[in-house]
Structure 1
Amino acid sequence: MISLLLLDLDGVIVFEMAPPYVKKLELVLLHDLLVNALEALGVPVVVLTHRSRAEAAVILDSAGLRKGVAGLMAAEDILSAAFAYGTPWQLLRKGLRKSWALPAIERRYQVDRKNMAFIDDRLDNIQDLVGSGVGIALHAPSGIDGDGSLISFDFGQIVHVLRDCHNDSAPRIVSIVPRLVAQSEWYRTGINTGSFAMSPFNRLRLFGRSLRNLLWGRPID
């Protein structure tokens, strides 16, 4: 039984558009009335993101979700959990994987990871958390179509999938049916996170990624 939902931000809640589709970097909301959809799930929702806490706060505010989620595990929290439950060498080898946060989330919310669901647009994150014991992961379609439409999904699908995943034979990775969102349907915010791109924390992450890629040729997160 799913008792907690882990929710990514980029490609799931928002898409940060760049020129030439917009004049300047801008967050576009992918869903309307999302607070209502999250309430319909009937379980606590915790944001799990590689964004910094400052960036995540901007995104949650733009989506009207600051008070609509039970908690936030941002990049700093994942890093803290990695040091608490691993070693610096493991962190350097594996990178800032979201699975580092699972023990901290289990302790904080008193929910076993097998009873958690996870939504993300990146398959590597999906495989990471399912491989670490998360009960079910939903792979969100995300991107830009050839005509400039956003590739997203209907959040109502999430409610139906999670309600139907109570048996042990249910697939652990589910691909969400894509939906095209034309430019005329975009929920534009006029907000971006560009000012945080070169923050000290993001500079440190970039250095770590580059070092890991140099040493082992690993894709950067």
Structure 2
Amino acid sequence: MVRNATILRLRRRRAAEAGVTLVELLISMVLLVVITGFLVGGIALGRRGYVADHASSADGETVTALDALGGLVSAALPTQAEKIGPRVAFDGRSDALDFVGLSAGHALPGGPLGFRIRRNGTNLEVEVIPPPGAAPLPQGQVSNVVLRAVSELRFSYFGAMAAGTPAVWQNEWLSADHLPALVRISVEFADSRRERPPLVVALRQR
């Protein structure tokens, strides 16, 4: 009888211990699910923050590059093209622009220099070339990538090509004896989040 009671007590103790272990397992599983939820939420929040910061950085670089491009175009000079009558050295096309501007003389020789703005693949580049009638540059042709991941580059020009004609926007400005009043630069990107309104530049010397 005593032995049977002892065995019964041992079985009850083991059953109670097994019940506690099961409860602890369930609590651990619940805690694991909660912690996993917090981790997943934190990772998603961090990813969204990284994407937003990256987009903001790219947007800032785009604005800075377009401002620099506008400053370069605004300083175009009405330099006469060599041996071509009264026309100026300004070849404005819908997809590229060649003109003469001033160099500050830091990395390049000071004075008038030729500039070509165009899209090369997915890069928007500014090439530095000798102005009409000048000797080749000592360092050869210089090309700088201003913007990357560019899908489209378009130019348009505002002004009157000849006296007595109305000033209108046009896709080309070629063989003119004066500079246009305005140049509009439209840049499109592969990432639509980088899109900016067209940049309209007023030329200071006409």
TM-score bucket of the superposed structures, by smaller chain: under 0.3
Higher relative contact order (CA 8 A, sep 6+): 1
The two structures have a TM-score, normalised by structure 2, of 0.25
Which one has the bigger helix percentage?
Answer: 1
Please identify which structure carries the higher strand content.
2
Larger Cα-atom Rg: 2
